[in-house]
Amino acid sequence: MGSGAVATGRFVQLGGFTNYLRNAGYRSILAKYQHAFTDALRSQFVADFSRYLANDYALRALNANNAKLLDSWVSLNSLGASKTLLTNFDGTTFDFLDCHRLLQEHNLFQNMGTASIEQMTVLNRYTRSGNYVLFPQRGEFPELVLNMNQVNFDEYQRLSYQLTAQALRTLRNTNRLFRDVYVFRGRNYTLRQFKQLFHSTASTDIPLKGFQSCSKTTATPLDFMGKSKASPSNLAALIPDTDLSRIINDFDNYVIGKNQDELLVDVMLKIKSKNGIDIDDISDWGTNLGPVRHANEPNPAVRIQLEVLLEEGMFRRTNITIMEFPHNPGKYYIEVTLEELGTPLPGRGY
């Protein structure tokens, strides 16, 4: 017997649909929606949520917020949200419903322009952890930064990507658009990756794969880089400098004899945004939700990251600078200044 049949059997054991709602802790919402549950909607609910009952993790997650998640399910269903998002019960549907619940609870469906509730919910879901979309976008691990791979999404990942990208493009028509303003992103690269992307012999037009989560200030990326696995002495041989030719020459001398696929360097991307979207107000790590969701995070630059999200694409390198960490003397990072071109990457198969 399949898991759906077992789950549906549990409904029968509980005495039917209404008793299930009551026994599962949905008393408050039962009265609210009893008149709205047409036969068709009742059948759909049973079919959808029976999958929750067949999954212990999902059942625990569902009951954690009981009536509020049912409220979100009914609301999103009535708005025509994709069944892929509402019935993928491996935990992702719980996250989707919980994101909607949180945005609704804090009255954050604001300044949306013509973006949909579904798009804004998926955008918030991305800020919780975007790796389910990012990893397929980046392809191999370690990432081959110049390989414009055909992205292999499953159905859920593809729809999530599409809704996130649609949200960003739609929100450009609101005052969320960050244009001709610098935003900051911190990450580390292997020596080989860095040379392939940013060396003077590489093209000045740089492909960056995957959504680019940036901050309005340097505080958040500096904290992320400060916790990275890059060695504190990786760039100690390079005196903080602003002369590009001298930096590249020093860098070439520095990497001689080193394992370019293992040694990491910290890189701050200073990006002049063209199409970046300010999502701080709905981000899981933003001004509104950061203190609620991450109250135990001691660093305010991590708890509230002031996020601006950019799509993947081509970026033009305009400068490279060696910098010393302000609160960690003797540890260096490379600041690369880029300009977002708004040009999509080729061959991605979106």
Q: Tell me which residue has tokens 């602003």.
A: 242
Tokens of 281: 């107000």
Phi-psi region of 113 (alpha: psi -120 to 50; beta: other; left: phi over 0): left
Same domain, 334 and 213: yes
Tokens of 187: 């990450």
Same domain, 184 and 299: yes
Is residue 243 a part of any domain in this protein?
Answer: yes
Q: What angle do CA 19, 24, 26 make, to 5 degrees?
A: 85
Q: Rounded to whole angstroms, what are the CA distances from 167 to 114, 124, 147, 186? A: 9, 11, 27, 24
Whole-angstrom distance, CA of residue 223 vs CA of residue 334: 15
Is residue 144 a part of any domain in this protein?
Answer: no
Q: Tell me which residue has tokens 């760039």.
A: 235
Same domain, 304 and 188: yes
Same domain, 98 and 186: no
Neighbours of 34 (CB within 10 A): 10
Give residue 10's pLDDT: 40
Is residue 145 a part of any domain in this protein?
Answer: no
Tokens of 15: 């005495």
Is residue 167 a part of any domain in this protein?
Answer: no
Whole-angstrom distance, CA of residue 216 vs CA of residue 208: 19
Q: Rounded to whole angstroms, what are the CA distances from 32 to 36, 69, 82? A: 8, 14, 24
Same domain, 334 and 201: yes
Is residue 121 a part of any domain in this protein?
Answer: no
Q: Which domain holds residue 181?
A: 177-343
Task: Choose the final residue of a domain: 105, 131, 146.
Answer: 105
Say how many CA atoms lie within 13 Å of 158 toward its Cβ.
10
Same domain, 185 and 313: yes
Same domain, 92 and 236: no
Whole-angstrom distance, CA of residue 82 vs CA of residue 84: 5
Q: Which of 270, 350, 286 is nearest to 123 (CA)?
A: 286
Task: Choose the final residue of a domain: 70, 105, 140.
Answer: 105
Reading the chain (350 residues) residue by residue, the pLDDT tens digits are 343 343 334 433 334 545 555 555 444 444 544 555 555 655 565 555 555 444 444 444 455 555 677 678 778 877 877 877 876 655 577 788 889 999 999 999 999 999 999 999 999 999 998 998 999 999 887 789 999 888 999 888 999 999 999 999 999 999 999 999 999 999 988 888 988 898 766 788 999 999 999 999 999 999 998 777 665 445 545 555 555 566 666 666 766 777 777 778 889 999 999 999 999 999 999 999 999 999 999 999 999 999 999 999 999 999 888 888 888 777 788 899 999 999 999 888 77
Q: Which of 5, 88, 101, 106 is nearest to 46 (CA)?
A: 5
Same domain, 193 and 289: yes
Which residues lie below 8 Å from residue 108, measured CB to CB, with a gap of 6+?
Answer: 102, 281, 282, 288, 289
Give residue 2's pLDDT: 41
Which residues partner with 241 through β-bridges? 322
> For the whole prediction, is pTM greater than 0.85?
no
Tokens of 42: 């009742």
Domain count along the chain:
2
pLDDT tens per residue, range 71-93 = 787 788 778 778 778 766 555 77
Is residue 157 a part of any domain in this protein?
Answer: no
Same domain, 90 and 214: no
Is residue 146 a part of any domain in this protein?
Answer: no
Domain harbouring 273, CATH code? 3.90.176
Is residue 184 a part of any domain in this protein?
Answer: yes
Say how many CA atoms lie within 13 Å of 154 toward its Cβ.
6
Same domain, 89 and 187: no
In angstroms and rounded to an integer, the radius of gyration of the C-alpha atoms of the chain is 24
Taken in order 259, 262, 266, 267, the sign of the CA dihedral is: positive
Give residue 90's pLDDT: 54
Same domain, 83 and 202: no
Task: Choose the final residue of a domain: 49, 81, 105.
Answer: 105
